[in-house]
Amino acid sequence: MCRAIVYATLLLALAAIPRVFLLGNHSLWLDESYSLGVSASEVSQILANTDSAHPPLYYLLLHFWLALGRSEVLLRLPSAILGALSVPLAYVLVRVWFPERTALLVAFLLALSPLHVWYSQEARMYSLVTLLGLGSMLCLSLVLERGGPIWWVAYLFSSLAGLYTHYGMLALLLGENVWVVSRWATRRGKPGFVGIWFASQAALALGFLPWIPVFISNISGQAGFDSFILATLGSLWDADDGVLLGGGLAFLLALAVGTSVLWLKRPARTAEQRVAWLGTAALVAYPLLTISSAVPLGISVKRQLVILLPYFLLLAAAGLEKLRRGRNLVTLSMVFLACVSLAASYVQRETEDWRGPARIVQGEGQANDAILFYAGYTQSSFNFYYRGALAEVPVSFGDMDSQLGDVQHRYRRTWVILSHDTYDDPDGEFRMWVARRWTLLRDWSFVGVEVRLYDTGNGES
């Protein structure tokens, strides 16, 4: 027990270092600004915010945390803390199932994982739901091993909290149900356990019942089901630069299919053989996943992968244990690859740079200038850094002649901020309208953001 505590403490310290390193180095991006906007509202407004794509627990926790301040570091610090806590928790969980060496390897790889560090440095709910998922799985494991009302209560609490954090928790709960049913089908479960298990799932459903109408409304809305549970195959390919991530995950899919075919042709006879097959597949896929998770592409896929990452690493570590030769060399290679990919992720972590646009507009803006946001929801990201007094005009997709004509009539020059505008305007109608009618004076390009200064020609001098 003492040795386990020492290991958990050392792993926590190891995990904390990369998660707090350069925590405030990159600017808040769109989703983080949205987190701030929702969390800064009153509690009643957070609970009533049914337009959000996510349940309210993370926003509620961040709401009370904001009393400490609103800098980039403070906004991201809860995610960093929760992400660091996930590492020793993963060690404890794997230690219930496997030898200590396997548990240490899983926790060590999770501590250095660029994917997990990435979402531990983002003011979003993904590190929280990953931690709660590990807690749910650990409590279920202890229920199966030891029983007892304490672990049942802890399981229900962590699982329900996970559901109120992110809908991706449903995928983990599905996996838990498959695990429990398979134990019962192979007669390894305790008598009467199935009845208690179904009662626990009914309790979870009852606890989540107040949010189910919102959940149904969300998955039937514009974002769709894939935004809340698992990304669709179409989202594996990034529109601009997705060769690495899209091709990498397509390879993972092909590898999984190939492994399944081999399994069907030569069926494994024991559970140990099945673990060996899955572990080998995960071990082969590990370099691809690690490299692809070090670059800011395919965000919609990565969000789902990070929740399941600890279990993928468990399979890879289990596969490593089955190697008869070269185990130490492969282990060192995995650690080296994780370190290199993690270092690379710090270099290219910036998703959107809003400091630069705010600095340019604030420094070069003149009286009777206006700032125009075609995608109005990016305005909060800009305003987190902008301290000027120019008029700001959000423009929505629709009657551009009326909206932009009014801007042209009232202002001499217009600063156009472009980011995410292709979501609402894939054909670029807004860009073409402005290019035909206004004179481009200067333009600047930043990561994920364009700034264009136009002479409208008609504003008052």
Q: Last residue of some domain: 304, 327, 347?
A: 347
- Same domain? For 44 and 147 the reply is yes
Q: What is the C-alpha separation between 304 and 126, in angstroms, rounded?
A: 9
Q: Residue 457: is it exposed, middle or buried by C-beta count within 10 angstroms (0-12/13-18/19+)?
A: exposed
The verdict on 271 and 369 lying in the same domain is no
| Cα 201 off chain centre by | 26
Same domain for 216 and 101: yes
Same structural domain, 219 and 72: yes
Residue 181 lies in a domain: yes
Instruction: Clarify whether residues 359 and 424 are in a common domain.
Output: yes
Decide if pLDDT at 309 tops 80.
yes
- Over residues 104-160, the pLDDT tens digits come to 999 999 999 999 999 999 999 999 999 999 999 999 999 988 888 899 999 999 999
Residues 331 and 432 in one domain: no
> What is the structure's pLDDT at 245?
45
Q: Confidence band (pLDDT; 50, 70, 90) for 298?
A: low
Same domain, yes or no: 421 and 302: no
Confidence at residue 190, expressed as pLDDT on a 0 to 100 scale:
66
| Residue 275: predicted pLDDT | 65
Asked whether residue 460 is assigned to any structural domain, the reply reads: no
| Domain interval for residue 385 | 355-455
Q: 38 with 72, same domain? A: yes
Specify whether 115 is located in the same domain as 249.
Answer: yes
Count structural domains, the chain: 2
Residue 234 — pLDDT band, cuts 50, 70, 90? Answer: very low
461 in a structural domain: no
- The beta-strand segments (E) located in 267-337 are none
Distance CA 106, CA 286 (A): 12
Question: Which pLDDT belongs to residue 252?
Answer: 52
Helix residue ranges, H only, 322-441: 327-347, 355-364, 379-383, 400-410, 421-424, 429-437
Q: What does the pLDDT read at residue 70?
A: 93
What does the block give as tokens for 178?
């498959």
- Say whether both 158 and 137 belong to one domain: yes
pTM of the model: 0.87
Please report which confidence band the pLDDT of residue 250 belongs to, taking 50, 70 and 90 as the band edges.
very low
Q: DSSP code of 209?
A: G
Residues 276 and 360 in one domain: no
Same domain, 142 and 22: yes
Q: How far is CA 456 from CA 372, 399, 410, 421, 441, in A?
A: 12, 18, 9, 20, 10
Higher pLDDT: 302 or 61? It is 61
Least confident of 173-177, 243-247, 271-275, 355-359: 243-247
Q: Which of 316, 347, 378 is the last residue of a domain?
A: 347
* Secondary structure of residue 267 in the 3-state scheme: coil
Q: Tell me the pLDDT of the chain averaged across its residues.
A: 84
Q: What is the pLDDT of residue 155?
A: 97
pLDDT for residue 430: 87
pLDDT, tens digit, for every residue of 379-389? Answer: 999 999 999 99
Q: What pLDDT sits at residue 224?
A: 46
Reported confidence tier of residue 230, pLDDT bands at 50, 70, 90: very low
Average pLDDT (258-269) is: 51
pLDDT in tens, 268-277: 555 566 666 7
Query: Looking at 347, 381, 399, which one is the last position of a domain?
Result: 347
Q: How much is the pLDDT for 328?
A: 87
Q: Tell me, yes or no, whether 262 lies in a domain.
A: yes
- N- to C-terminal Cα separation, the chain: 77
